[in-house]
Amino acid sequence: MNNDTDSDKIHDWTEIRYFKTNPINPDTDSDTLDDFMELNFYTTNPLTNDSDSDSISDPEELFVYNTDPNSADSDGDTLSDYEELFNYSTNPRAIDTDSDGMPDDFEIVWLLDPNNSSDAELDFDNDGLDNLSEYTNGTNLFLNDTDIDGLLDGAEVIHYKTNPFINDTDSDHLLDGEEVYIYFTDPVNSDTDNDGLIDSQEVLIFFTNPLLSDSDMDGISDWKEITCYFTDALKNDTDNEQLSDGEEILGFFYPTNQYGNRTGFFTTNPLNNDTDLDGLLDKDEIVVYLTNPNNNDTDNDGICDGIEVLIYGTNPLTEDSDQDGMPDGWEVLYYFNPVNSTDAEKDFDGDGLTNLEEYFYSTNPRKDDTDNDDLTDYEELFNYQTDPLDEDTDNDGYLDGWEVENGYGPLNPNDPPEQTNPLPQTTKKPITVGAIALNILFAGFLGTIAFTIGWFTIQTIRKKKK
């Protein structure tokens, strides 16, 4: 019995069971290729004469056009073999028929001639890129600014190295064309001046110079002025005192004064032209008066620098302007002249002590009996050795003056005896926490009033001087 009826070298049972071919016809699809050759050599489909359905028969692809009968696009250029052969006359076995660097399908899509290599050098949109470069960069052959950012594609690719598909290459919210032609910033660097602010923030929000990290040239970068110090990045002296913000923030050299001290670097407040609120501009303190702009009483004499300079005419660098041994603050407190040394030897209260001695002993130079014990300050100090600041030196309950007048010892707490008439007694009273608190509050209240009056006085003087 014959097991291969059509003599195609394939067992009838195999044809029927596995390949579905005709066991009595060696060429089931009648394409002139017998079933055995299609299955074992050409790997084509023996059931159809066009295995890849490209409208070209398998034997034509194999023996006439030398294309792949199992692939409708033998060269992988997205054009079918049939289109290449019969529509465009291109080579179905070559992606780039004319070898101009542009694939056949690209040329056809962009209306170029895939059989003419000269069109690769043409520049249809006059953007500075020939057609081959447009293909290489993926830009539009007929639109000279593919991303519509104000820069020609050629300029983006060749000169600025920007992305011709993205209108804001550095993502700084400015079009590449705006950066190049309007703001002159770097379109591939979002922060052209590397100051911490992106170019659009400088141009559109803060109006600083995107090409200069320190727009106002004060020594502080724009970013730090805006985000750290809150100074004006467009004005090098935010508080109008003739010290640049950089000098105030980074430190300003403090010259040596006539006493050879208080030198060094000081940082002042760039938002307040009078950092220590003493009535003197920081610049004047540093350059003119050589006072400390961070200390409203440079010489610690109890008078703020502004009042010393503008009201009393005293030296804010020394606590004793007239060198009479009495600090300026003490002299002002008792209505002396802090720039006249002759008042040191005077005795205004007539108690026998000079004003200088009163300062030394901490007594009141305007009152002959500082502690109101009926003994003058001089008598207490030099006759009885009692404390002129304490009405009852021995703490026995009796005024020093009464004890002296009645023959008792003001330094002996055991006399007079207890049975002695106790009048007059000391006016001392126990000091309570409440009393201390009230005194502190009252002192603070008076100090606030005095400071306020002094401040407005200084401002008035400064305005008149201007």
Q: What are phi and psi of 265, to 5 degrees?
A: -105, 135
Q: What is the pLDDT of residue 300?
A: 92
Are 365 and 359 a contacting pair, CB within 8 Å? yes
Helix/strand/coil (H/E/C) assignment for every residue in 126-167 = CCCCCHHHHHHHCCCCCCCCCCCCCCCHHHHHHHHCCCCCCC
Measure the CA–CA gap between 292 and 226, rounded to whole angstroms: 27
- 213 in the Ramachandran plot: left (φ > 0), alpha (ψ -120 to 50) or beta? alpha
Q: Indicate the pTM of the whole model.
A: 0.62
What's the token pair of residue 152?
């020609």
Query: Does 256 score more than 80 pLDDT?
Result: no
Condensed to tens digits (0 to 9), the pLDDT of residues 126-167 reads 999 999 999 999 999 999 999 999 999 999 999 999 999 999
Tokens of 11: 């067992």
pLDDT tens by residue, 71-119: 999 999 999 999 999 999 999 999 999 999 999 999 999 999 999 999 9
* Rounded Cα–Cα distance for residues 376 and 370 (Å): 8
In b/e form, how buried is each residue of 162-192, taking b as 16+ CB within 10 angstroms?
bbbeebbbbebebbbbbbbeebebbbeebbb
How far apart, in whole angstroms, are the C-alpha atoms of residue 157 and residue 97? 27
